[in-house]
């Protein structure tokens, strides 16, 4: 008896999940859906600071999702769709922009930073092995010196 | 060589500081304009005041004009409206692009607040808005007499914005036309 309310509540929640899973966007050919999903996650909402078209609730994102769907139905290629949008909203709209003179730093810097890190790591590891060899040698020096001292002490007796 | 190398992190820090300080001045919400230098998009849309009268890009040509994107749901447009009325009084030709709005509400708005627009394009579905790269109202475009977009402002045009971004360019375009 006491369980009835929580169970009812859980069923209600489950019902909302069902509602959400309904496919709201209809395609004449289901193969377009996969491309649609990729495109709307890679395209950025022009109004919001850091959301893609898939995430954003803003009206402009809704309009642009419709545009993407319309162009997919018109058999446009992915790059044609991106060109269409960048000619209007600039490269801002691409989360994965092409490599060109304004984006080479963006694409290149991870590689450069990785190289700097590798070089630093190599140099540091080399220096460490050199130190080990060096301290090994001084140890031998200490031993000979000790032996010499002991010897001279014995001589003094 | 080793002494110079010791200063390398400091130098890197200094460079990074300068770059980041410069970045503070930039408005991250502002998109680079893709349409400056491009012709105004082709369109065919009804007039706001008369659903039977169709307007097209030819109607914009011939004069240096401002095209102002606005809507009754746009709060900032209320603030901007007085400035547009003032510009229209000074003889600036302003064309309205009513963006994703309700026709009756828009006509009512212009009746109450004054109509600065030479004519108003009614873009109910926002198609011309997408062709222009509009992502929020208000937006204002300055077009030369050939219909080429020469400047774009996203956000309110007030005295300060007009004086710093539009006035000189507008005067220059008008004198070019003569």
Question: Closest-CA residue in chain B for A61?
Answer: B135
- For residue B138, the chain A residues in CB contact (below 8 A) are none
User: Any chain B CB within 8 A of the CB of A63?
Assistant: yes
Between residues A120 and A8, which one has the greater pLDDT?
Answer: A120
- For residue B130, the chain A residues in CB contact (below 8 A) are 63-64, 67, 88
Cβ-contact B93, B65 below 8 angstroms: yes
DSSP assignment of A43-59: BBPSSSSS-BTTT--SH
**C-alpha span between A79 and A69 (Å, rounded):** 14
Between residues B98 and B6, which one has the greater pLDDT?
Answer: B98
Of chain B, the percentage scoring pLDDT greater than 90 comes to 79
Which pair of tokens denotes residue A43?
Answer: 């395209």
What is the least distance, in Å, from the CA of A63 to any CA of chain B? 8
The distance from CA A45 to its chain's CA centroid, rounded to whole angstroms, is 19
3-class DSSP state for residue A30? Answer: coil
What ipTM was reported for this prediction? Answer: 0.78
- From the list B34, B100, B126, which residue is nearest A89 (CB)? B34
User: Any chain B CB within 8 A of the CB of A88?
Assistant: yes
DSSP assignment of A69-120: HHHHHTT--HHHHHHHHHHHH-GGGBSSPPPSTTTHHHHHHHHHHHHHHHHH
Cα-based distances in Å from B25 to B21, B29, B30, B84, B90: 7, 12, 12, 28, 33
Give the pLDDT of residue B32: 73
Which pair of tokens denotes residue B155?
Answer: 């956000």
Give the pLDDT of residue B30: 74
For B55-92, the pLDDT digits (tens) are: 999 999 999 999 999 999 999 999 999 999 999 999 99
A125's enclosing H/E stretch is: helix A104-156
**C-alpha span between B70 and B141 (Å, rounded):** 12
Give the pLDDT of residue A22: 46
**C-alpha span between B47 and B119 (Å, rounded):** 7
Q: Between the CA atoms of B106, B111, B115 and B117, what dihedral angle is there, to the nearest 10 degrees?
A: 40
DSSP assignment of chain B: -HHHHHHHHHHHHHHHHHHHHHHHTS-TTPPPPSSTTSBPPP-EEEBSS-TT-EEEGGGTTTS-EEEEEE-TT-HHHHHHHHHHHHHHHTT-EEEEEEES--HHHHHHHHHHH---EEEEEEESS-HHHHHHT--SS-EEEEE-TTSBEEEEEES---HHHIIIIIHHHHHHHHHHH-
Q: What is the pTM of this model?
A: 0.74
Across chain B, what does the average pLDDT equal?
Answer: 91
Question: What value does the mean pLDDT take over residues B24-39?
Answer: 81
In this complex, do A88 and B131 lie within 8 Å of one another by their Cβ atoms?
yes
> Scanning the structure block, which residue is given the tokens 């109607």?
B59
Question: Closest-CA residue in chain B for A86?
Answer: B34
3-class DSSP state for residue A2? Answer: coil
Domains belonging to chain B, first-starting first, are 34-177 (3.40.30.10)
Question: What value does the mean pLDDT take over residues B119-145?
Answer: 92
**C-alpha span between A80 and A86 (Å, rounded):** 10
Give the pLDDT of residue A137: 60
Residue B131: what are its φ and ψ, rounded to 5°? -65, -30
Cα-based distances in Å from B129 to A39, A115, B125, B148: 21, 45, 9, 16
Based on its alpha-carbon atoms, the radius of gyration of chain B, rounded to whole angstroms, reads 21
**C-alpha span between B100 and A118 (Å, rounded):** 54
Asked whether the predicted pLDDT for residue A94 surpasses 80, the reply is: yes
Give the pLDDT of residue A23: 57
In this complex, do B132 and A88 lie within 8 Å of one another by their Cβ atoms?
yes
- Name which of A46-50, B48-52, B120-124 the model is least confident about: A46-50
User: Any chain B CB within 8 A of the CB of A55?
Assistant: no
- For residue A90, the chain B residues in CB contact (below 8 A) are 31-34, 133
User: Any chain B CB within 8 A of the CB of A49?
Assistant: yes
> Scanning the structure block, which residue is given the tokens 């000619």?
A87
For B106-127, the pLDDT digits (tens) are: 999 999 999 999 999 999 999 9
3-class DSSP state for residue A140? Answer: helix
**C-alpha span between A61 and A49 (Å, rounded):** 12
Between residues B24 and B44, which one has the greater pLDDT?
Answer: B44
Give the pLDDT of residue A152: 85
Asked whether the predicted pLDDT for residue B14 surpasses 50, the reply is: yes
pLDDT range class, residue A14, cuts 50, 70, 90: low
- For residue A87, the chain B residues in CB contact (below 8 A) are 34
**C-alpha span between A6 and B38 (Å, rounded):** 61
Give the pLDDT of residue A112: 93
């Amino acid at each position: 008896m006491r369980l009835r309310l929580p169970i009812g509540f859980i069923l209600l929640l489950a019902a909302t999940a069902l509602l959400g899973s309904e496919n709201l966007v209809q395609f004449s050919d289901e193969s377009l859906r996969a491309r649609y999903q990729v495109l709307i996650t890679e395209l950025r909402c022009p109004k919001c600071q850091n959301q893609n078209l898939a995430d954003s609730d803003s009206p402009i994102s809704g309009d642009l999702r419709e545009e993407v769907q319309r162009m997919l139905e018109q058999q446009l290629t992915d790059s044609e769709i991106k060109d269409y949008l960048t000619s209007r909203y600039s490269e801002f709209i691409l989360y994965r922009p092409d490599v060109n003179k304004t984006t080479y730093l963006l694409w290149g810097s991870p590689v450069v930073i990785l190289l700097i890190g590798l070089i630093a790591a190599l140099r540091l590891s080399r220096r460490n092995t050199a130190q080990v060899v060096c301290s090994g040698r001084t140890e031998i020096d200490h031993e000979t010196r000790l032996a010499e001292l002991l010897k001279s002490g014995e001589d003094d007796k | 060589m080793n002494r110079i190398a010791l200063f390398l992190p400091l130098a890197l820090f200094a460079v990074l500081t300068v770059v980041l300080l410069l970045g503070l001045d930039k408005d991250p919400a502002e998109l680079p304009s893709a349409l400056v230098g491009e012709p105004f998009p082709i369109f065919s849309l009804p007039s706001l005041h008369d659903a039977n009268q169709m307007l097209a890009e030819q109607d914009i040509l011939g004069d240096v004009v401002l095209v102002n994107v606005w809507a009754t749901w746009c709060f900032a447009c209320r603030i901007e409206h007085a400035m547009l009325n003032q510009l229209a009084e000074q003889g600036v030709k302003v064309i309205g692009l009513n963006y994703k709005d309700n026709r009756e509400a828009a006509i009512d708005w212009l009746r109450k607040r004054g109509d600065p627009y030479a004519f108003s394009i009614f873009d109910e579905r926002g198609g011309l808005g997408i062709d222009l790269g509009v992502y929020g109202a208000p937006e204002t475009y300055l077009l030369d007499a050939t219909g080429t977009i020469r400047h774009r402002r996203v956000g309110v045009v007030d005295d300060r914005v007009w004086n710093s971004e539009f006035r000189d360019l507008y005067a220059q375009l008008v004198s070019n036309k003569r």
